[in-house]
Amino acid sequence: MSQVSGKAFDMKLLGRILGYTKPYRGIFRLAIVLTITLSFLSVASPLLIRHTVNSYVQLPTDSSHAHWLETNLLLFTVLMILLLVMQSVMQFVNQYFTSLIGQRIVRDIRTQLHKKILGFRSKYFDNTPIGTLVTRVVSDIEAINDVFTQGFIVIAGDLLTIVVYLTAMLYIDWRVTLVVLTTIPIMFLATWWFKNAVKQSFTDVRNQVARLNTFVQEHITGMKIVQVFSREEEEMKRFKEINTKHRDANVRSVWYYSVFFPVVEILVSVSLGLLVWYAGKRIFEHQTDPGTVAFFVLMINAFFRPIRMLADRVNTLQMGMVASERVFKILDQEETIENEGQLTAQKINGNIHFRDVWFAYNNEDYVLKGVSFDVKEGETLALVGATGSGKSSIINLLGRFYEYNKGEIFVDSVSIREYELASLRKNIGVVLQDVFLFSGSIMSNITLENPAISREEVITAAKAVGAHDFIMRLPGGYDFDVRERGGMLSVGQRQLIAFIRVYVYNPRILVLDEATSSIDTESEILIQRATEVLTKGRTSVIIAHRLATIQNATNILVIDHGSIAESGSHSELVQRDGPYRRLFEMQFKNEEKLAG
């Protein structure tokens, strides 16, 4: 679980965030200009009210004077209304543009992040919880939006507004200003306490959100295991524990808010009370006027408002920066497969050569040790061996889903690292034992939304591998919704869909994790037929779970603890007194027992 640092402003980090505004610099500059303009305009209404009260709110001396007062009072009232309307329009435009910039930047960063994740090597996903990545792509990037809508532009505007207000108040009457602002030191202390407290609580909230997302995503995906082993009660206890920590983190945040804002309201009331006492005294002494009192009444509320919001907005900005730090940490990960190859694998023949290949998932704990073999164009290579012997590692290396440590792998006498990665993988069709299907129709799962593959091609491929009939029996046929992870289909049906998918993409090399141990006899017959269709005319590498299905393989490698124990054809290997013969006899006896 990655933790957020919660550290204060990092100008380098802020500069990186602002770098995303370059495509929208026109709108960004307009937002800044509007923010500055609004800061200066905000003091105009109180000044107009002061002037109006002092100049036109008085008893007339005669009828002409009364008409003059009425006319000017109406004029200044209309002027104040127009000023307020103009401010409202400018605030709307400013808010709209800052939100627009934020949303566009969120879109850009999320697109960049998703593209980065698409290029990660498999090892990264082995070590990173999926729920954590979901939090980064969704929640954390939304928090970056707050940097613009509630962050530094708004904070800069608030600070400028405070300076403008303070300057105007001191200019009008510095004595009254000093009296009504005697509560400011207490306000600053309360704001400082609130900022630090909420910062920590927000950090806790973000960490608990990531934990909650990870737990929920993982356990909903593995719900069948939970139910099969009757672990509902225990998993509920774990969920309640995580959910309680998430609640407590939010409650702490709410508590700080519930303390801070009443304190601010009390301080505002105290300042108003001081104004009434001191300004009233100065009016009696003819040292000030009613307009000035009205001005300060308005200014006290206006002056304390940005200060009150400042702590909250600083924390919003800070949490946006914390979220961006976590997002940028993923963007800066060097976990991608190096794609420096220049050759396009458009017309490869399918000759495969492993030369003294060593591979380890972690450090030097090698799972493959000096593996060497050749597969010629059109031949079928079968890999057999115990679980964990290294069979899957071999097929993962062929498609460069992992990088080998030592040795070399060639396709058509060219190192696979010299091929452009996407073109290499397009020529290697993979059918794994655990077939993954996306939510959507059978058609979309076969074509993967590739517009170059027509419906007719899919139907032809389905007929070729023997899956057309079962698809047509489903409601909607090829438009049948398989739901999440293909949950509406059996294991065998999902594998047949994967066979069709490979067939329509027509790769030169086929990698097949042949899994018939967990399916019914009818599906097994269909899959064996589909395997024959797919391997015909293609170079094939098959992980064999049942040795009876690979008797026609060109060559069979027996993998034991990451090394090749023996190799040869089926007839050659059964004549030797080696591991293959023992595996074959063991499976044959087990099948006889099951049949008996």
What is the per-residue pLDDT across 296-306, written as a single tens digit (0 to 9) for each? Answer: 998 888 888 88
For residues 383 and 265, membership in a common domain is answered with no
Lowest mean pLDDT among 343-347, 391-395, 497-501: 343-347
Residue 595, pLDDT score: 45
Determine the distance from the C-alpha atom of residue 502 to the mean position of all C-alpha atoms in its chain, rounded to a whole number.
Answer: 29
Q: Which carries the bigger pLDDT value, residue 503 or residue 591?
A: 503
Q: Rounded CA gap, 242 and 520, in Å?
A: 41
- In tens, the pLDDT along 178-194 reads 998 898 888 888 888 88
User: From its phi and psi, is residue 388 left (phi > 0), alpha (psi between -120 and 50) or beta?
Assistant: left
For residues 321 and 360, membership in a common domain is answered with no
For residues 176 and 111, membership in a common domain is answered with yes
Closest to 380 in 3D by CA, of 532, 560, 516, 501: 532
For residues 61 and 182, membership in a common domain is answered with yes
Q: Which carries the bigger pLDDT value, residue 404 or residue 532?
A: 404
pLDDT band, very low/low/confident/very high, at 213 (cuts 50, 70, 90): confident
In a domain, 170, yes or no: yes
Strand-pair partners of 556: 382, 568
In a domain, 460, yes or no: no
Q: Which carries the bigger pLDDT value, residue 15 or residue 335?
A: 15
Can you tell me the mean pLDDT for 141-155?
Answer: 81
- In tens, the pLDDT along 504-535 reads 888 889 888 865 555 666 667 777 888 888 88
Containing structural domain, residue 317: 11-331
Determine the distance from the C-alpha atom of residue 517 to the mean position of all C-alpha atoms in its chain, rounded to a whole number.
Answer: 37
Domain count, the chain: 2
For residues 197 and 282, membership in a common domain is answered with yes
Residue 505, pLDDT score: 85
Final residue in a domain of this structure, among 303, 331, 359: 331
In a domain, 490, yes or no: no
Residue 415, pLDDT score: 92
Residues contacting residue 241 through CB under 8 Å, at least 6 positions apart: none
Lowest mean pLDDT among 105-109, 372-376, 442-446, 589-593: 589-593
- In tens, the pLDDT along 53-84 reads 888 877 667 778 788 878 888 898 899 899 99
- In tens, the pLDDT along 14-43 reads 888 888 889 998 998 999 999 999 999 989
For residues 186 and 101, membership in a common domain is answered with yes
In a domain, 221, yes or no: yes
The enclosing domain of 381 has a CATH number of: 3.40.50.300
In a domain, 446, yes or no: no
Predicted confidence (pLDDT) at residue 546 exceeds the cutoff of 80:
no
Residues contacting residue 349 through CB under 8 Å, at least 6 positions apart: 377, 412, 508, 539
User: From its phi and psi, is residue 407 left (phi > 0), alpha (psi between -120 and 50) or beta?
Assistant: left
- In percent, how much of the chain has pLDDT > 70? 95
Residue 6, pLDDT score: 45
For residues 121 and 211, membership in a common domain is answered with yes
For residues 291 and 374, membership in a common domain is answered with no
In a domain, 230, yes or no: yes
For residues 325 and 359, membership in a common domain is answered with no
Residue 4, pLDDT score: 44
Strand pairing report for 539-544 and 509-514: parallel
What is the crossing angle of helices 63-118 and 44-56, to 10°? 170
The model's pTM is 0.72
Strand-pair partners of 559: 385, 564
| Residue 286: strand, helix, or coil | coil
Predicted confidence (pLDDT) at residue 453 exceeds the cutoff of 60:
yes
Predicted confidence (pLDDT) at residue 169 exceeds the cutoff of 70:
yes
Residue 514, pLDDT score: 66
Q: Rounded CA gap, 166 and 176, in Å?
A: 12
Strand-pair partners of 564: 559
Final residue in a domain of this structure, among 331, 361, 395: 331
Q: Rounded CA gap, 483 and 289, in Å?
A: 75
For residues 272 and 305, membership in a common domain is answered with yes
In a domain, 514, yes or no: no
Residue 8, pLDDT score: 47
Tell me if 112 sits within 8 A of 324, measured CB to CB.
no
In a domain, 192, yes or no: yes
The enclosing domain of 105 has a CATH number of: 1.20.1560.10
Final residue in a domain of this structure, among 272, 300, 331: 331
Q: Rounded CA gap, 295 and 483, in Å?
A: 65
With tokens 């002061």, the residue in question is 50
Predicted confidence (pLDDT) at residue 132 exceeds the cutoff of 70:
yes
pLDDT band, very low/low/confident/very high, at 357 (cuts 50, 70, 90): very high
Lowest mean pLDDT among 119-133, 267-281, 319-333, 469-483: 119-133
Q: Rounded CA gap, 329 and 580, in Å?
A: 48
Q: Which carries the bigger pLDDT value, residue 392 or residue 201?
A: 392
Tell me if 486 sits within 8 A of 448, measured CB to CB.
no
Tokens (6 digits) for 130: 């999926």
Q: Rounded CA gap, 471 and 479, in Å?
A: 9
For residues 45 and 75, membership in a common domain is answered with yes
For residues 393 and 319, membership in a common domain is answered with no
